[in-house]
Amino acid sequence: MTALTLQRSQHGRSAATDEHEPDAGQFLTFQLGNETFAIDILCIREILEYEYLTEVPLMPDFIRGVMNLRGAVVPVIDLALRFHRPRTELGRRSCVVIIEVHDEDEDRLQLIGILVDAVNEVLAINSADIEAAPQFGSKLRTDFIAGMARLDQRFIVLLNVPRVLSIEEITLLSRLDEGGDSIAAGGCDDGIE
Amino acid sequence: MNLDQAMQAFFDEAFELLQQMEAILLDAESTQSDPELLNALFRTIHTIKGSAGLFALDDIVGFTHQVENVLDRLRGGELALTETLTSLLLRCHDHVKAMLQALASHGTAPDATLGHALLAELAGLSGQAGAATPGEPSAEATAAAAHQDWLLYLGFGPDVLRHGLDPASFLSYLATLGHIEQVIPLYSGLNAVSDYDPEQNYLQLALRFAGHCDLATLHDVFEFAREDSHILIAPLADAARQLADAGGALPEAELQQARQSWLALGMMEGGKVAHAADQGMAAKIETVAGTPPPGTGDPAASPVAASKKVKANERAGESRFLRVEAEKLDNLINLIGELVIAGAAGNLLAQQTGSTALQEWNQGVSGLIEQIRTGALSMRMVQVGEIFNRFPRVVRDVSKELGKEIELKISGADAELDKTMVEKLGDPLMHIVRNAMDHGIEGTELRRLRGKPAQGTVRLNAYHESGSIVIEISDDGGGLNREKILKKAIDRSLIAPDAQLADQEIYALIFEPGFSTADQITNISGRGVGMDVVRRSIEALRGIISIDSELEVGTVFRIRLPLTLAIIDGFMVQAGDAIFIVPLESIVECVELPEEQSGNNSCDHLNLRNELLPLLRLATFFELPHPTPPRQNVVILQLGDRKAGLVVDRLLGEFQTVIKPLGSMFRSLKPIGGSTILGNGQVALILDVNELVTHVINRDAVKYSLAADQAHLGSAQAKPQHMRQ
C-alpha cells in the first residue's frame, strides 16, 4: 500500500512539471485479448510494429524471443502468457511496446519489449480517479497492479511495470524452467497469489 | 621492460583506487552497516600499498601501511567509522593522492610532516597511540640531513637507451632534490664516427650536487639505472676515500675517468677539503638559486625551471597515449558492426539491380568497411604479454624480499585478449603470483628436503581453447594443504564440521573473504584479502577460476575467460527454422550424418574414423519444431581434450559475428553465449559450445541415474515431482 501511494505521488509530480492538468499522469492503454490495460508513458521508449522475432530456446513460454532494435538485441515478452492468459496471436494491429526497466543486477537501463494485440491511446488520468488494487477479482497478481483507473464508468488496470517486468523474477522463472517443464514456473506464480 | 610504462599503469590504477576509496568514505553512512564496503575500502589501500612496494616507493608504503592497519581494524569491527575518523581517512586519502601526483609529474613530494601528523591522529583515534608509528618520524628526521655537497659519477652503460632510460630524466629528477652545480660530460668511448651506433649510449656524467639529502635518497634516484650502469656517489669531503674503495667495482679506465673528473669538480686528493672555500661556495649557490630545502612547500614553490620541466613531462605523457573511455570505443565498435551489416545489405541490393558501376562502388566501400572494422577491433585487442611483462620484476623483487630463489617462466604471451579484460586481469594475477611465491614456493631448505631443485618455478601460461582464453598460474611449491584449509574453514564456521567436500570445493574455500592459511601477516600477503578480490574480479569478467593442487608438488590456478570479445569468427548453422552461430575456433570439421542415423530414435553417437563421437542433436535439444530433413550434417567440435558432434540441418558457412550481449534476463541460459544480427536484420543466437555440452552432460546424468531408474520403476505410484529432483 505504501508503495502504491509513493507511485501515485510520483506520477503527480512528473505530470505537474510538464503537462497542463495538475496531479495527473499520462497512460498508454492497450489491448490484451479483450482486456484493456494501461501503463505509465514515462517508462515507454517507443512503439513498434511487430516484426520478426528470434525465438530463444529453453526459456519460459512468455519470453517470445528477441528482436533487433536498431542494432540492440531486445527481449520481447508476451504479456498475455505472463498473466496466464492464452498466447497472443499475431494480427494486423499487433505491436511491440518498448519499455525501459531498471536492471538492478547490472545497474543500468534495460529495454524490454511487450507484445500486445493493439495499442489504443494515451490518456491523462487524475490521481483522484485512481483506486487501490482490489484484493481479488482482477485475475492478476495484486503486486502487478499499480492501481485501477476509473474511466467512463469502467475500470482499467494500471500495471506496475517494475513488478511485471522484474528482470530478477523473469531470470528466476527461466532458471526454474530449465528443468524442462513450465509447470514449475506456473506453480511459482500461483504460490505468490 | 619499460618501467615508465609500468609506472604509468601503477599511477592509473592507484588513482582509480583512490577514487573508489573516496566514494566509499563519502557514503560513510551505509558503509558503516555494510561489511562488503568496509572490505572494499580496506582493499583499495591494500592494493595501493602492494603496488607501491613494487616500485620501491617507500614513503607511500610506509604511510599506507598505517592507514591499512586502521582499516583492517575497522573491517574487523574493532573500530567504528565515526565522522571524525571518516574525515581523517579522507585527509589521508588526499595525502596519498598528493604523494602520487608528485611522483607522477616528477614534482616535489608533499610535506612529510603532514603525513606524520595524520598518522599520529590516526593512531590517537584508533587508540594505539605511539605503537602505530614505530620510530618512523625519527628516521625521517635523520633523513632530512644537513645541507651537503656531493660528487656523483654516473657511468651509464652502453645499453641504457635501449632499455628506455634517458640520462637526462635522471638529471631533471635530481634537480628537484637540490642543486646541480656543475656537470662534466664524458664521452671517452666515442671514437670514430663510422663506428657510431645511434642506439648506444656513449655518455657518462660527473657532477657536483648540493642539497639536503642523504646517500640513500641519492642512490634511489638512480635505482632504475643501477643494473647496467656504474653509479658512484660520495660526499665531497669523503670522495677520495670512497673512490678508492670502489676501485674494484668498475673498470680501470672508467675509474681513472671518474677520478679525473671528480678532481676537476673539487675533490681533494689527500682527503682534505678546503672547508671554508667549499662552504662559502655552497652559501653562494643557495642565495643565487634559492633552492628550497626538500620536503617543504608544494610544487608551485619550486624553482621556475623545475616547474617548467614538470609541465613538459606532463605534456609528453599525454601525447604518447590517448586514454579513451571504454564506452566510447564500444559504441564505435557497435556502430561499425551496424555498418558491416548495412554494407552487406547494400551489396545484396547492388547485385539485384545488376548495375556494374554500382557493384564496383559497393566493393570499394566494403573494402573500406573491412579495414575500419579491423582497425577498430585491434584497438581493443592486446597481447596478454602486456600484463605478463610486469611479472619478471615482481618475481625478482618479491623473491629477494622473501629470500627464496624463484624463476618465472612465461609462455603464450602472444595470446590476444580484449583490452578491458587485460586491464582488469592485472590485479588478480598479481595477487595469485604473489601468493604463489609467498605461500606456494617453500623455503630452500624445505625444498632440498623434499628433493626438489633449490630454485622454485612460477609459470605463467596463456592459450586459447574453444572460444575462451585460459590463463594458468602454476608453481612447483608445497601445494594447498587440504586439512589446514578444512580446519580453518570449520574454525571460521564457513562450513559445517561434518561437511563432506570434494577437493575442488575445499580449494575454493580459499576464495572466501578474510581466509588465509598463512600463520604470519607479511608485507606481501597473508591478510586473506587477495583471494576474494581475485574471485570477484574474475567473476566480474564472467570468468571461472579453478584450482588444482597436489600436496608437496604444486598448485595450478586456472582462469578461464569466456568470449566477450566484440567480434568473433562464427560459423552459421541451421536447425529447424532457427539460425545459430558456432564459434569457428571450436570447430574441427563438418561431416554428413549417415542416413541410417538421421532418425531421432537412433543411437546418439557416430563412428568417426574409428573414433567414438557422441552426438548432440541441436533441434531436439532446443525443442525446436522441426521435420527431419533428408540430409543432416554433423559439426565436429573440439572441447578441451574431447570432441563432440553437433547435429544440424544445414551448414550456412562462415560469418563475421558482432557479439551483442543478451542481457541479464538470459543469464541463466548458459548454452547461449550471446547474439548477433544477421545481414537481413534478424537476430541469431551464438552457441557457447562448452556450456552446451556441459548442460547435456548434466541433464543426462540426471536422466540416466539410479534415482531416475528407481523413479521410473515406481512411477505408477511415485509423485512426478520427485523425479525432477
Tell me the average pLDDT across B457-485.
84
The reported pLDDT for the residue numbered B33 is: 64
The reported pLDDT for the residue numbered B248 is: 65
Pick from B6, B5, B116: nearest CA to B67: B116
Nearest C-alpha of chain A: how many angstroms from B598?
Answer: 22
Pick from B411, B388, B390: nearest CA to B2: B390
Pair B411, B358 in one domain: no
Q: B161: pLDDT confidence band, cut at 50, 70 and 90?
A: confident
d(CA B19, CA B97): 10
Pair B660, B552 in one domain: no
Q: B18: pLDDT confidence band, cut at 50, 70 and 90?
A: confident
* Residue B330 belongs to domain spanning: 326-382
Decide: B614 and B604 in contact? Cβ < 8 Å: yes
Pair B592, B686 in one domain: yes
More confident residue, B26 or B38: B38
Return the minimum-mean-pLDDT range out of B140-154, B172-186, B540-554, B703-717: B140-154
Residue that is last in its domain, among B561, B593, B617 = B561
DSSP states of B332-383: HHHHHHHHHHHHHHHHHHHHHHT-HHHHHHHHHHHHHHHHHHHHHHHHHEEE
Residue that is last in its domain, among B294, B318, B345 = B294
The reported pLDDT for the residue numbered B572 is: 92
Q: Does B622 touch chain A (CB under 8 A)?
A: yes
Q: Does B665 touch chain A (CB under 8 A)?
A: yes
Asked if B660 and A73 come within 8 Å (Cβ–Cβ), the reply is yes
Pair B373, B405 in one domain: no
What residues of chain B lie within 8 A of the CB of A105, using their CB? 664, 667
Q: B635: pLDDT confidence band, cut at 50, 70 and 90?
A: very high
- Beta strands B406-411 and B456-465 are parallel
Residue that is last in its domain, among B109, B126, B143 = B143
Asked if A55 and B578 come within 8 Å (Cβ–Cβ), the reply is yes
Asked, for residue B173, whether it belongs to a domain, the answer is yes
What residues of chain A lie within 8 A of the CB of B669, using their CB? 56, 58-59, 174
Asked if the model's pLDDT at residue A192 lies above 80, the reply is: no
Pair B391, B444 in one domain: yes
pLDDT (tens digit, 9 = 90+) per residue, B201-211?
Answer: 778 888 888 87
DSSP states of B575-630: ETTEEEEEEGGGEEEEEEPPGGG-STTS-SEEEETTEEEEEEEHHHHTT---PPPS
d(CA A40, CA B349): 41
Asked, for residue B396, whether it belongs to a domain, the answer is yes
Asked, for residue B318, whether it belongs to a domain, the answer is no
Nearest C-alpha of chain B: how many angstroms from A107?
Answer: 11
Asked, for residue B716, whether it belongs to a domain, the answer is no
What does the block give as the cell for B183?
656537470
The reported pLDDT for the residue numbered B608 is: 85
What does the block give as the cell for A44?
515507454
pLDDT (tens digit, 9 = 90+) per residue, B235-257?
Answer: 777 777 777 777 666 777 777 77
Strand partners, B484: none
Pair B129, B248 in one domain: no
Contacts of residue B615, Cβ cutoff 8 Å, sequence gap at least 6? B597, B604, B605, B606, B634, B644, B645, B646, B647
Question: Could you say which of B335, B660, B665 has the minimum Cβ distance to residue A171?
Answer: B665
The reported pLDDT for the residue numbered B522 is: 52
State percent of chain B over pLDDT 90. 5
Asked if the model's pLDDT at residue B393 lies above 80, the reply is: no
- Residue B197, helix vs strand vs coil: coil
Asked if B669 and A58 come within 8 Å (Cβ–Cβ), the reply is yes
The reported pLDDT for the residue numbered B301 is: 40
Return the minimum-mean-pLDDT range out of B275-279, B288-292, B397-401: B288-292
Tell me the average pLDDT across B33-53.
82
Q: A63: pLDDT confidence band, cut at 50, 70 and 90?
A: very high
Q: What is the mean pLDDT of chain B?
A: 75
d(CA B720, CA B707): 13
Asked if the model's pLDDT at residue B697 lies above 70, the reply is: yes
Q: Does B662 touch chain A (CB under 8 A)?
A: yes
ipTM of the complex as predicted = 0.77
Domain count, chain A: 1
Asked if A181 and B724 come within 8 Å (Cβ–Cβ), the reply is yes
Asked if the model's pLDDT at residue B214 lies above 80, the reply is: no
Return the minimum-mean-pLDDT range out of B199-213, B319-333, B361-375: B319-333
pLDDT (tens digit, 9 = 90+) per residue, B402-434?
Answer: 888 888 888 988 888 877 778 788 888 888 888
Q: Which residue has the cell 598463512?
A: B518
What residues of chain A lie within 8 A of the CB of B698, using their CB? none
Pair B401, B454 in one domain: yes
pLDDT (tens digit, 9 = 90+) per residue, B488-535?
Answer: 888 877 777 777 777 877 888 888 776 765 555 455 554 445 677 788
Pick from B635, B636, B673: nearest CA to B652: B635
Asked if the model's pLDDT at residue B266 lies above 70, the reply is: yes
Pair B502, B547 in one domain: yes
Q: B564: pLDDT confidence band, cut at 50, 70 and 90?
A: low
Pair B644, B535 in one domain: no
Asked, for residue B717, whether it belongs to a domain, the answer is no
List the CATH number of the domain containing A62: 2.40.50.180
Domain count, chain B: 5
Question: Could you say which of A55, A58, A105 has the minimum Cβ distance to residue B664?
Answer: A105
Pair B376, B388 in one domain: no
Sign (positive or negative) of CA dihedral B468, B469, B475, B476 = positive
Contacts of residue B311, Cβ cutoff 8 Å, sequence gap at least 6? none
The reported pLDDT for the residue numbered B210 is: 80
Asked, for residue B721, whether it belongs to a domain, the answer is no
* Residue A73 belongs to domain spanning: 2-192
Nearest C-alpha of chain B: how many angstroms from A63?
Answer: 10
Asked if the model's pLDDT at residue A116 lies above 90, the reply is: yes
Degrees (nearest 5) of the Cα angle A129, A132, A134?
Answer: 125
Asked, for residue B605, whether it belongs to a domain, the answer is yes
Pair B352, B414 in one domain: no
Asked, for residue B313, whether it belongs to a domain, the answer is no
List the CATH number of the domain containing B402: 3.30.565.10
Kind plus residue range of the DSSP H or E element containing B130: none
Pair B181, B209 in one domain: yes
Contacts of residue B78, Cβ cutoff 8 Å, sequence gap at least 6? none
Q: Does B339 touch chain A (CB under 8 A)?
A: no
